[in-house]
Amino acid sequence: MGIGIGILLLVIGLILLFAIKEFPASVQEFVDPTTVGWILVIAGVLSLVLALVMNQRARTTHVEERRDI
Protein backbone atom coordinates (compact mmCIF):
# COMPACT_ATOMS: atom_id res chain seq x y z
CA MET A 1 0.00 0.00 0.00
CA GLY A 2 1.38 3.33 -0.94
CA ILE A 3 0.86 6.87 0.14
CA GLY A 4 -2.04 7.32 -2.26
CA ILE A 5 -4.03 4.41 -0.83
CA GLY A 6 -3.39 5.67 2.69
CA ILE A 7 -4.73 9.10 1.80
CA LEU A 8 -7.73 7.55 0.05
CA LEU A 9 -8.61 5.39 3.07
CA LEU A 10 -8.19 8.37 5.39
CA VAL A 11 -10.44 10.61 3.28
CA ILE A 12 -13.18 7.99 2.91
CA GLY A 13 -13.07 7.29 6.65
CA LEU A 14 -13.33 10.98 7.52
CA ILE A 15 -16.25 11.39 5.11
CA LEU A 16 -18.05 8.50 6.80
CA LEU A 17 -17.36 9.98 10.23
CA PHE A 18 -18.23 13.61 9.71
CA ALA A 19 -20.05 14.22 6.42
CA ILE A 20 -22.61 11.43 6.22
CA LYS A 21 -25.14 11.72 9.00
CA GLU A 22 -27.56 8.97 8.09
CA PHE A 23 -27.33 5.88 5.92
CA PRO A 24 -30.32 4.12 4.40
CA ALA A 25 -32.06 1.82 6.88
CA SER A 26 -31.18 -1.28 4.90
CA VAL A 27 -27.46 -0.49 5.22
CA GLN A 28 -27.58 0.56 8.87
CA GLU A 29 -29.05 -2.80 9.84
CA PHE A 30 -25.77 -4.49 8.93
CA VAL A 31 -23.09 -1.80 9.23
CA ASP A 32 -22.55 1.13 11.57
CA PRO A 33 -21.07 3.95 9.46
CA THR A 34 -19.22 5.45 12.44
CA THR A 35 -17.41 2.20 13.16
CA VAL A 36 -16.50 1.71 9.51
CA GLY A 37 -15.29 5.32 9.39
CA TRP A 38 -12.97 4.83 12.37
CA ILE A 39 -11.63 1.59 10.93
CA LEU A 40 -10.83 3.30 7.63
CA VAL A 41 -9.18 6.26 9.39
CA ILE A 42 -6.95 3.95 11.42
CA ALA A 43 -6.11 1.87 8.34
CA GLY A 44 -5.29 5.05 6.39
CA VAL A 45 -2.98 6.40 9.08
CA LEU A 46 -1.20 3.05 9.41
CA SER A 47 -0.83 2.83 5.65
CA LEU A 48 0.66 6.34 5.48
CA VAL A 49 3.11 5.62 8.29
CA LEU A 50 4.20 2.32 6.77
CA ALA A 51 4.60 3.86 3.33
CA LEU A 52 6.75 6.67 4.70
CA VAL A 53 8.91 4.26 6.71
CA MET A 54 9.40 1.95 3.74
CA ASN A 55 10.25 4.88 1.45
CA GLN A 56 12.81 6.13 3.95
CA ARG A 57 14.44 2.69 4.12
CA ALA A 58 14.58 2.47 0.33
CA ARG A 59 16.43 5.78 0.10
CA THR A 60 19.21 4.85 2.48
CA THR A 61 21.83 2.94 0.54
CA HIS A 62 24.88 1.27 1.91
CA VAL A 63 27.89 1.20 -0.37
CA GLU A 64 30.78 -1.10 0.38
CA GLU A 65 34.08 -0.43 -1.31
CA ARG A 66 36.83 -3.02 -1.66
CA ARG A 67 40.33 -2.27 -2.72
CA ASP A 68 42.86 -4.89 -3.72
CA ILE A 69 46.39 -3.95 -2.73
Three-class secondary structure assignment of 30-43:
CCCHHHHHHHHHHH
Please indicate, yes or no, if residue 52 is contained in any of the structural domains. yes
Q: Is 50 helix (H, G, I), strand (E, B) or coil?
A: helix
Q: Is residue 65 part of a domain?
A: no
Residue 37 covered by a domain:
yes
* pLDDT given for residue 24 in this prediction: 80
pTM of the model: 0.72
Residues of the chain with pLDDT under 50: none
pLDDT at 65: 79
48 inside domain: yes
Residue 45 in any domain: the answer is yes
pLDDT at 60: 62
Q: Is residue 15 part of a domain?
A: yes
On whether residue 69 sits in a domain, the answer given is no
Query: What is the per-residue pLDDT for 48?
Result: 92
- In-domain check, residue 10: yes
Per-residue confidence (pLDDT) for residue 28, from 0 to 100:
78
The number of folded domains in the chain is 1
